[in-house]
């Protein structure tokens, strides 16, 4: 089944054609550059850029997949969570296409999309696994019993991991979004240069908190001179990153042990982080467990993961409703009830 996926939940306009949920025929991603000068995404600018770009990006996705609209058998688009104005552009476009052509339509939860990026990269993944979702807006540990059956066992009380990376990058003058930049600089730095706090690493819950760590970095940077800051930039990046990675990895390994699962995945933009991949992979390997993560281009927002999730949703429960709405806030466990209600 050839599926068209559309993703516009934040500042990426993306369209993709995927065969049978796992074979990518095209995955066009346009990252809007206009937001960096504002230090964050400006929702209204994002919506307008999606309106300008959605049709050319969709056409490019069909062209690269060497197919026509007639060949598409299923249409899927992100319904939330995300910026509501941005979501509405992709969702309305996809629903319009489905209505005009009579093709089935499936609305997709953005986080289920991030989870499905692992299905695109690793078809051998065990259906029952644990996933650490680390993105710009989420930090969650979720037990995946099978596709669509989720149990959240912990999440952040304040900032998401990606948000913490972005805020520290901004503080250090590395631009927005800065997670990848911190990762790059940290490679030349000493992770033990400064011991930043590991928030709630020892408590027995699977909750996370990054705002205290962020404050600790702010206070540290306030105390040093501009010269010291620029001289030790790679070390500050490496030390901050190490604290985030240590907390994420510790809790994930403990949860994997408790659940008795041997397959663990990373999902979301921060899954691209090289130190997180290495540390978590090594710690899990020592326990006889295996870490999976999506290939680089599928970690951050893209429509291939939406097409894949749409395909598996369709196989599970058939077409969704064409009056599906956009949701800025949408818990993962709520997907099915929202789809049925709309
Ligand atoms: N190599 C990296 N190391 C750390 N963080 C990274 C890296 N690459 C990307 N990120 C971070 O990933 C985030 C973007 O991920 P993603 O696209 O999944 O977030 P989002 O879509 O904005 O949020 P959500 O998926 O929660 O709605 C940004 O915060 C970015 O800094
Ligand atoms: Mg995302």
Residue 11 in any domain: the answer is yes
Looking at the structure, do residues 179 and 218 belong to the same domain, yes or no? yes
Looking at the structure, do residues 206 and 140 belong to the same domain, yes or no? yes
- Torsion (CA) 119, 120, 122, 124 in degrees, nearest 10: 60
Residue 61 contacts residue 27 (beta carbons within 8 Å): yes
Residue 233 in any domain: the answer is yes
- Our mutation pick for probing the ligand 1 site, out of 43, 78, 162, counting the most ligand atoms within 8 A of Cβ, is 162
Q: Within 68-139, where are the H helices?
A: 84-101, 110-121
Pairing of strands 2-7, 12-19: antiparallel
Looking at the structure, do residues 76 and 197 belong to the same domain, yes or no? no
Looking at the structure, do residues 187 and 225 belong to the same domain, yes or no? yes
Task: Show which of 260, 279, 296 is a domain's final residue.
Answer: 296
Q: Which domain holds residue 285?
A: 127-296
Assessment of whether the complete model's pTM goes beyond 0.75: yes
Task: Tell me which residue has its CA closest to atom 16 in ligand 1.
Answer: 269
- The total number of residues shown for the chain amounts to 342
223 C-alpha to ligand 2 centroid (Å): 34
Looking at the structure, do residues 169 and 261 belong to the same domain, yes or no? yes
Which CATH number characterizes residue 278's domain? 3.30.420.40
Looking at the structure, do residues 281 and 210 belong to the same domain, yes or no? yes
Return the pLDDT at 274. 98
Residue 292 in any domain: the answer is yes
Looking at the structure, do residues 31 and 12 belong to the same domain, yes or no? yes
Looking at the structure, do residues 248 and 259 belong to the same domain, yes or no? yes
Residue 55 contacts residue 84 (beta carbons within 8 Å): no
Return the pLDDT at 339. 54
Looking at the structure, do residues 140 and 93 belong to the same domain, yes or no? no
Task: Show which of 296, 312, 327 is a domain's final residue.
Answer: 296
Task: Show which of 263, 280, 296 is a domain's final residue.
Answer: 296
Closest to 217 (Cα-Cα) out of 200, 241, 186:
241
Residue 329 in any domain: the answer is yes
Residue 284 in any domain: the answer is yes
* Cα gap 50→30, rounded to integer Å: 9
CA 312 to chain centre: 18
Looking at the structure, do residues 167 and 23 belong to the same domain, yes or no? no
Residue 141 contacts residue 130 (beta carbons within 8 Å): yes
Looking at the structure, do residues 163 and 252 belong to the same domain, yes or no? yes
Task: Tell me which residue has its CA closest to atom 20 in ligand 1.
Answer: 136
- Average pLDDT per run of 10 along the chain, which is 342 residues long? 98 98 97 85 95 98 98 98 98 98 98 98 96 97 97 97 97 93 98 97 94 98 97 98 98 98 98 98 98 97 98 98 96 69 48
Residue 122 in any domain: the answer is no
Residue 121 in any domain: the answer is no
Q: Which atom of ligand 1 is nearest to the CA of 161?
A: 29
CB atoms within 10 A of CB 159: 20
Joined together, the tokens standing for residue 238 give 């490496």
Residue 120 in any domain: the answer is no
Closest to 22 (Cα-Cα) out of 228, 259, 304, 337:
304
- Torsion (CA) 32, 304, 301, 331 in degrees, nearest 10: 130
Looking at the structure, do residues 287 and 207 belong to the same domain, yes or no? yes
Task: Tell me which residue has its CA closest to atom 3 in ligand 1.
Answer: 273
How many domains is the chain partitioned into structurally?
2
Q: Which atom of ligand 1 is nearest to the CA of 178?
A: 31
Return the pLDDT at 336. 59
- Our mutation pick for probing the ligand 1 site, out of 270, 277, 331, counting the most ligand atoms within 8 A of Cβ, is 270
């Amino acid at each position: 089944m050839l599926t068209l996926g559309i993703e516009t939940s934040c500042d990426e306009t993306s369209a993709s054609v995927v065969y049978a949920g796992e074979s990518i025929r095209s995955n066009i991603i346009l990252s809007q550059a206009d937001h960096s000068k504002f230090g964050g995404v400006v929702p209204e600018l994002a919506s307008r850029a999606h309106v300008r770009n959605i049709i050319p990006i969709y056409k490019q996705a069909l062209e690269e997949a060497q197919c026509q609209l007639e060949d598409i058998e299923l249409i899927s688009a992100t319904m939330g969570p995300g910026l509501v104005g941005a979501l509405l552009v992709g969702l309305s476009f996809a629903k319009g296409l489905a209505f005009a052509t009579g093709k089935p339509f499936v609305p997709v939860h953005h986080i289920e999309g991030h989870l499905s990026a692992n299905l695109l990269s690793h078809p051998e993944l065990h259906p029952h696994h644990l996933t650490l979702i680390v993105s710009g807006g989420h930090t969650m540990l979720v037990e995946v019993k099978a596709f669509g059956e989720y149990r959240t066992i912990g999440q952040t009380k304040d900032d998401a991991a990606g948000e913490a990376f972005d805020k520290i990058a901004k503080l250090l003058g590395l631009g927005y979004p800065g997670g990848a930049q911190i990762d790059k600089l940290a490679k030349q730095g000493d992770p033990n240069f400064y011991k930043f706090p590991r928030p709630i690493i020892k408590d027995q819950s699977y909750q996370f908190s990054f705002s205290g760590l962020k404050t600790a970095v702010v206070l540290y940077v306030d105390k040093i001179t501009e010269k010291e800051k620029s001289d030790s930039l790679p070390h500050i990046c490496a030390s901050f990153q190490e604290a985030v990675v240590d907390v994420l990895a510790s809790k994930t390994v403990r949860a994997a042990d408790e659940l008795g699962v041997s397959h663990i995945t990373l999902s979301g933009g921060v899954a691209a982080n090289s130190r997180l991949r290495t540390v978590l992979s090594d710690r899990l390997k020592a326990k006889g467990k295996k870490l999976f993560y999506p290939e680089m281009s599928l970690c951050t927002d893209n429509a291939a993961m939406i097409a894949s999730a749409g395909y598996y949703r369709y196989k599970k429960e058939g077409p969704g409703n064409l009056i599906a709405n956009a949701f800025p806030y949408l818990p993962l466990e709520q997907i099915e009830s929202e789809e049925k209600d709309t």
